[in-house]
Amino acid sequence: MAKIYDSITELVGETPLVHLHRYEEKENVQANILAKFEYFNPSGSVKDRAALNIIEEAEKRGDIKPGMTLIDYTSGNTGIGEATFANAKGYKFVAVIQPQVSVERSQILKALGAELLQVTDVPGFAEMLKTGLSLEGLYKVMHDFAESNGWYYLNQCADPANSEAHIKGTGPEIWEATGGKVDYVVQLVGTGGTLSGLAKFFREKNPDVKIIGAQPADISLKNPNFPDRNTIDGVLKFDGVPDDKVPQLFKIFNTKYDECFNVVAEDAYETGRKLVKEEGFFVGQSAGAALWTATQIAKRPEAKGKNIVVILADNAFKYLSTNMYR
């Protein structure tokens, strides 16, 4: 039966879940690694889900209407999704870009017609960063800046619609694809929307599902004093951090996870290179980190025969300027 779509917004979700047979064999593991390839979303990442849901929920509330200007703070992927759907729905979009992200992310945002600002363009932002980014501080400077310009702040870091996109989309897709046979779910954290949403969905479906997070090791965190170090773009530490740096969405959804892995960038990069050689899938830095984490779990004796679902957030085309594929 023919199927013609009317908008790019209709293409979000229903991404493939793939059993990585060849990769498993190469790594000599006896668990089933099932990769959710989120770069099949229309703008190329898992963040399309949150971006679209945040905009559409704001529309339902009557907070925004076409012709308005939307703004958000972004490491790239959410902003790219927001810019994409803003175009499709008749909004303008302004992105305040996180420092030190890959150049491709900024190039894509510009190509989409977004106005691209640095943190130094936002009053009070640079001063806040001197003491470390806090989510409360982020909200204040971004909200005040948006209000002063007559713009609408999408606030991906604290909008429940971010997590809800995974409660109503990603989670059910995984559950249906596996027939409910899920033992572990592995993901990294930026805003915390994916982990908080999937944790809520799977805890309600089966409390025995293990929710596994991963974060950059300290040596792989962005640091202006070490601009040339290898890092994992677009994700943050969330485990063992001060309360003001715990994702707001974790607090909103009372998120609990079972384990957190610290991932060194070089391990993430090597894992991504292995995947493309063994399976042909060309993934980004956080996807490499997520797969490395899933592989460590798969090597455990108790994981034999278990299903490990791993969220692979995006593809490698945003990272060709980095050391990952050089």
* Cα 291 from Cα 14, distance rounded (Å): 20
Cβ–Cβ under 8 Å, residues 249 and 163? yes
For the question of residue 286 being annotated catalytic, the response is yes
Helices (runs of H) and strands (runs of E) counted in the chain: 12, 10
E strand or H helix at 97, and its extent? Answer: strand 92-97
Phi and psi torsions of 186, nearest 5°: -120, 135
Q: 26 vs 20, 30, 150, 175, 271, CA distance in Å?
A: 10, 11, 55, 27, 12
Paired residues of 70 in beta bridges: 93, 152
Tokens 């779990």 locate to 297
Strand 259-263 and strand 32-37: the pairing is unpaired
| Catalytic option among 89, 102, 286, 306 | 286
Catalytic residue among 36, 43, 45, 47: 47
Q: Give catalytic residues, as residue numbers.
A: 47, 286
